[in-house]
């Protein structure tokens, strides 16, 4: 099979490797190099780096609006285009070019969490299940019929980064299964998504990570898990802005105003929430690295009563 792969971040790399094992990847599409790091130097995407290591030609159009970009794709004569966290919306005129259309690997159990940040939004919402869907792409945002899917449980203390890595590996397996069926001329039957149960995973922004102490402790603990490692939850605690790497909710009754530091011990910093309290166990000060609450209190003896 002549495959074209379109993807950009780390999440997509295992899928590119799976595609390369199941067919001939004749080209890789990825986002243009972007400034990164303190020097703001142009940096290739993880997918581009993987493609170059494999000697696969790389294409980096700004979009697919021009006739030139569409003709370049058509000239590749792809049997199938595989899209994994590419970052560009493909018009119908592009979806129609490959013989078997375009497949998308999406990190949720559709129709729940269509959109840009399904992994983090699932944890933020307190979901206990997630998974991967292999979807036949159509013009709508993650609305296409599902070809294959695989579910997994979300761990009670699992972070966004940990779930990202597990779903990335699972996505590669589901894609490999789908490509194996296609090579054997067994076409997965597209299953239309249910009309009910649609939710949207809006793109993450740094302002999402700012904790509101008036919310319940369980909701804030989910945010801390969801936004680790990015954008990382942050809040004012005892007069200092901290980034929170690890926290748990305490079902504790109190009458303190939200945001009040209830107690500080080696087990953590307990902060009053709208309901219950949040125990901060791993944190980061401005300009510092992640440390335990016990290590933090070595420098904040004023908090220990």
Tell me the per-residue pLDDT of 152-204, one tens digit each, with 9 for 90 and over: 999 999 999 999 999 999 999 999 999 999 999 998 899 999 999 999 999 99
pLDDT higher than threshold 90 for residue 40: no
Count of H-run helices and E-run strands, the chain: 8, 17
Residues 4 and 80 sit within 8 Å (Cβ to Cβ): yes
When pLDDT is averaged across residues 77-104 and rounded to a whole number, the result is 96
Of residues 279 and 38, the one with the higher pLDDT is 279
Residues 108 and 131 sit within 8 Å (Cβ to Cβ): yes
Residue 191 DSSP one-character state:
B
Q: Model confidence over 198-233: pLDDT tens digits? A: 999 999 998 999 999 999 999 999 999 999 999 999
Distance CA 285, CA 216 (A): 24
Of residues 39 and 264, the one with the higher pLDDT is 264
Distance CA 25, CA 16 (A): 9
Which residues belong to the annotated binding site? 108-111
Question: Residue 293 has which token pair?
Answer: 């609450």
When pLDDT is averaged across residues 135-146 and rounded to a whole number, the result is 96
pLDDT higher than threshold 90 for residue 35: no
Distance CA 198, CA 61 (A): 31
pLDDT in the model for residue 36: 84
pLDDT in the model for residue 37: 78
pLDDT higher than threshold 80 for residue 127: yes
pLDDT higher than threshold 80 for residue 305: no
Q: What are phi and psi of 185, to 5 degrees?
A: 60, 30
Q: What is the DSSP string of 118-184?
A: HHHHHHHTT-SEEEEEEEE--SSTT-SPEEEEEEEEPPTT--HHHHHHHHHHHHHHHHHHHHHHHHT
Residue 197 DSSP one-character state:
T
Determine how β-strand 268-272 pairs with β-strand 277-285: antiparallel
pLDDT in the model for residue 56: 97
pLDDT higher than threshold 90 for residue 97: yes
CB-based burial of residue 255 (10 Å sphere; 0-12 exposed, 13-18 middle, 19+ buried)?
exposed
Helices 13-22 + 46-53 axis angle, to 10: 30
Question: Residue 26 has which token pair?
Answer: 């004749």
Distance CA 103, CA 100 (A): 9
- pTM for this model (two decimals): 0.95
- Average pLDDT of the chain, as a whole number: 96
Cβ neighbour number for residue 89 with a 10 Å cutoff = 10
Q: How far is CA 83 from the centre of its chain?
A: 15
pLDDT higher than threshold 80 for residue 138: yes
Contacts of 288 (CB under 8 A, 6+ apart): none
Contacts of 128 (CB under 8 A, 6+ apart): 153, 154
Distance CA 175, CA 233 (A): 33
Distance CA 22, CA 18 (A): 7
Domains identified in the chain and CATH numbers? 2-201 (3.40.50.170), 207-303 (3.10.25.10)
pLDDT in the model for residue 86: 96
Which residues belong to the annotated binding site for (6S)-5,6,7,8-tetrahydrofolate? 108-111
């Amino acid at each position: 099979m002549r495959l074209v792969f379109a993807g950009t971040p780390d999440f997509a790399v295992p899928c590119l490797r799976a595609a390369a094992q199941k067919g001939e990847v004749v080209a890789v599409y990825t986002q243009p190099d972007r400034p990164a790091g303190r020097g703001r130097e142009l940096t290739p995407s993880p997918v581009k780096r993987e493609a170059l290591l494999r000697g696969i030609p790389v294409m980096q159009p700004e979009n697919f609006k021009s006739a030139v970009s569409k003709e370049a794709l058509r000239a590749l004569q792809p049997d199938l285009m595989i899209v994994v966290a590419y970052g560009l919306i493909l018009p119908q005129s592009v979806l129609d070019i490959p013989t078997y259309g375009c497949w998308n690997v999406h990190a949720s159990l559709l129709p729940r969490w269509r959109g840009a940040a399904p992994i983090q939004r699932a944890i933020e919402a307190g979901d206990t299940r997630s998974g991967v869907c292999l979807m036949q792409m159509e013009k709508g945002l993650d609305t296409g019929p599902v070809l294959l899917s695989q579910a997994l449980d979300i761990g009670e203390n699992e972070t966004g980064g940990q779930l990202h890595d597990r779903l990335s590996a699972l996505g590669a397996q589901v894609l490999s299964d789908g490509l194996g069926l296609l090579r054997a001329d067994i076409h997965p039957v597209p299953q239309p998504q249910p009309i009910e149960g649609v939710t949207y995973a809006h793109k993450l922004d740094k302002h999402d990570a700012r904790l509101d102490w008036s919310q319940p402790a369980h909701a804030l603990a989910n945010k801390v898990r969801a936004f680790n490692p990015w954008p990382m939850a942050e809040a004012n605690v005892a007069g200092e802005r901290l980034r929170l790497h690890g926290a748990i909710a305490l079902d504790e009754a109190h009458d303190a105003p939200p945001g009040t530091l209830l107690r500080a011990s080696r087990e953590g910093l307990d902060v009053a929430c709208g309901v219950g309290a949040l125990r901060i166990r791993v944190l980061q000060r401005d300009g510092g690295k992640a440390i335990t609450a016990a290590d933090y209190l070595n420098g904040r003896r004023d908090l220990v009563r």
